[in-house]
Structure 1
Amino acid sequence: MHSEKASLGLKAAAWGGLAFLHIPILIIVLYAFNTEDAAFSFPPQGFTLKWFSVAFSRVDVLESIKLSLQVAAISTLIAMVLGTLAAAALYRRSFFGKEGISLMLILPIALPGIITGIALLSAFKSLGIEPGLLTIVIGHATFCVVIVHNNVIARLRRTSHSLIEASMDLGADGWQTFRYIILPNLGSALLAGGMLAFALSFDEIIVTTFTAGHERTLPIWLLNQLSRPRDVPVTNVVAMLVMLVTMLPILGAYYLTKGGESVAGSGK
């Protein structure tokens, strides 16, 4: 009879992997509260909230946060509408070219971000569109749509079609069936997909670099800070904020879909 307990070596490997992934994050959090303004003075000299007030009094930080929140919100809204419509069109019907359309929907999240960024930049230039808020939103929406689509179509496949048929048989029209039968069943999947799309949009940097022009989202602000060692404490505070803003929606999406289908797209 085999023991269900993991071996000591396996436990050590698991804890070692977790430490490898999370110790760098913990260091950023730790030094966000360090009293010293040096880059990394180990051990930390004390505890302070000074750098938080410094960070949130800077106009460039606040403008970058505002832009990132604006882009993430608009991209998520577009993704929830287009992703849901695409999932509804594809989940049951069979037609010529269905597999090709499904592949094109998934492709933006499968391609390396640099390829997507170059392709979008070339398209915008050929159309005479200047990089700015609009181009960033379009760039982010390309992969946010995939996230929402995958979550919604997974939920639709688990929803009994007999419920929809019963609603129609009882005299409900298409809108009533969607409002009272389909939408309540899609609620948690839509919310999870939207939360995950928001998190991914908020911290996206590769596609944003090609589509932002002179605009500066929070991840681009962080990238620019690497050449300014004197601002390391402020940079640590902002990096911690980005981690929190992205971590909380992802955890929420995980708990919303736990026990059902997986959170589609979380691998990005």
Structure 2
Amino acid sequence: MHSETQINSHELNNSPVLQRSPDKKSSPRALTLAASAGLLFLHLPMWIIFLYAFTTEQKSYQFPPPGLTLQWFAKAWAREDVWRALELSLQVALLSTLIAMVLGTLAAMALSRSRFFGRDVFSMLLVLPIALPGIITGLALRASYGTFDIPFSFWTIVIGHATFCIVVVYNNAVARLRRSSVNLLEASMDLGATNFQTFRYVVLPNLGTALLAGGMLAFALSFDEVIVTTFTAGQQTTLPIWMYQELIRPRDRPVTNVVAMVVVLITTLPILGAYYLTKDADSADGTGK
């Protein structure tokens, strides 16, 4: 019996199935090179913008830069038009995200838990705004505002941004609800919980990470939106529109690059924080933060 075990172990160790193929040694290296090339392709332009935020050249781009300086950060800090555009963009993004989280969550709960005629049509119509080109959405909103004599204002921008922010929150929420067990809701109701208590203590904790991810993405999309804003802002200037105008009529191009660095930081730091807060939130039902 002992000899048979030794023979079987020897056969298993020498089995060609368990032996590593000689081609597999080159695969990880090739994948690493491909991933590195992809990351370089995606992020090299951003690092070039960061580099030109420190250049001493004011009107044109030269590589390598003729010199490095910090003067453009002081000039960007002193520009009141930058602060006004930043404040408007933050207000629009925050309010659009709030509206999207409320309406997107309600739509996801209605369409994921109910069965009625035309449900798929409603679902398609909800996703349609983000599938359409931005210029189509902008033209449609501008025509609607003109038809009903709605003057351009802060709220026209918010409505325009909310149309596609709702889609992002809806997609995240409906995906999470479809993976959640209906038995949790039934158990909560059987134990005497009201509809609000079931939502507060069962549904919302399970939706927590999905709503956070959808809200972060909606905020990022609204904060850097240009096309829809162009058709709905009128004379108002958000930060992306300010950057676009500065590139068309350059006055201090490095200031635009400094503002671009600020935009990257505004959108990156909260995403990193959300990642570290929610990376272990799906380990068990009801643990969403």
Counterpart position of 2:89: 68
Partner of residue 216, structure 1: 237
| Equivalent in 154, 160, 175 of residue 175 of structure 2 | 154
**What are the Cα deviations for residues 45-79 of structure 1, in whole angstroms up to 9, with x where unaligned?**
44433212211211110000000000000000000
Q: How much has 1:157 moved relative to structure 2?
A: 1.3
Matches within 5 A, 1:109-258: 109-251=130-272, 256=278
Is contact 2:76-2:259 (8 Å) kept? Answer: yes
Structure 1 residue 22 displacement after superposition: 1.7
| Contact 2:55–2:66 under 8 Å retained in 1 | yes
Q: Cα distance 1:108–1:248, how it changes in 2: closer, same or farther (>3 A)?
A: farther
Q: TM-score, normalised by structure 2?
A: 0.83
Distance 1:5 1:85, change over 3 A: farther
Q: 2:147 and 2:249 mapped to 1: Cα distance?
A: 36
Native 8 Å contact 2:209 2:281 kept in 1: no
Q: Quote the RMSD (CA, aligned, Å).
A: 2.1
User: Cα gap change, 1:55/1:65 in structure 2, threshold over 3 Å: closer, same or farther?
Assistant: same
Where in structure 1 are there 5+ consecutive unaligned residues? 261-268
Residue 40 (structure 1) aligns with:
61
2:82 and 2:216 map into 1 onto residues whose CA distance is 23
Structure-1-length-normalised TM-score = 0.89
Q: CA deviation at 1:5?
A: 4.8
Q: Give 5+ residue unaligned stretches, structure 2.
A: 1-20, 283-289
Q: Distance in 1 between matches of 2:131 and 2:35?
A: 28
In the TM superposition, what is the alpha-carbon distance from 1:229 to its structure 2 partner? 3.1
Give 1:265's aligned residue.
none
Task: State the structure with more CA Rg.
Answer: 2
CA contact (8 A) 1:131 1:211 kept: yes
Cα distance change, pair 103–253 in 1 and its aligned pair in 2 (3 A): farther
Q: Which amino acid aligns with 1:176?
A: Q
The structure-2 alpha-carbon separation of the partners of 1:9 and 1:169, relative to structure 1 and needing over 3 Å to count, comes to closer
- Cα distance in 1 for partners of 2:272, 2:167 equals 19
Letter in 1 for 2:174: I
2:106 is the counterpart of 1:85? yes
Identity percentage of aligned residues: 62
Task: Indicate how the Cα distance of structure 1 residues 116 and 20 shifts in structure 2: closer, same or farther if over 3 A, else same.
Answer: same
Q: 1:258 to 1:140 in 2, by over 3 A?
A: farther
Q: d(CA) in 2 for partners of 1:258 and 1:139?
A: 34
Residues matched between the structures, number: 260
Q: Is residue 193–residue 253 contact of structure 1 (8 Å, CA) maintained in 2?
A: no
Label 1:195 to 1:225 Cα distance change in 2 as closer, same or farther (>3 A).
Answer: same
1:152 touches 1:186 (CA, 8 Å); kept in 2?
Answer: yes
Larger mean Cα displacement after TM superposition, 96-105 or 25-34? 25-34
Q: Quick check: 1:34–1:46 contact (8 Å CA) kept in 2?
A: yes
2:32 and 2:183 map into 1 onto residues whose CA distance is 47
Map of 1:49 onto structure 2: 70
Q: Conserved in 1, the CA contact under 8 Å of 2:100 and 2:162?
A: yes
| Correspondence for 1:30 among 36, 42, 51 | 51
- Matches of 2:279 and 2:171, distance apart in 1: 12
Give the match for residue 21 of structure 1: 42
CA distance in 1, matches of 2:146, 2:26: 59
Offset from partner CA, 1:67-101 (integer Å, 9 cap, x none): 00000000000000000000010112110010110
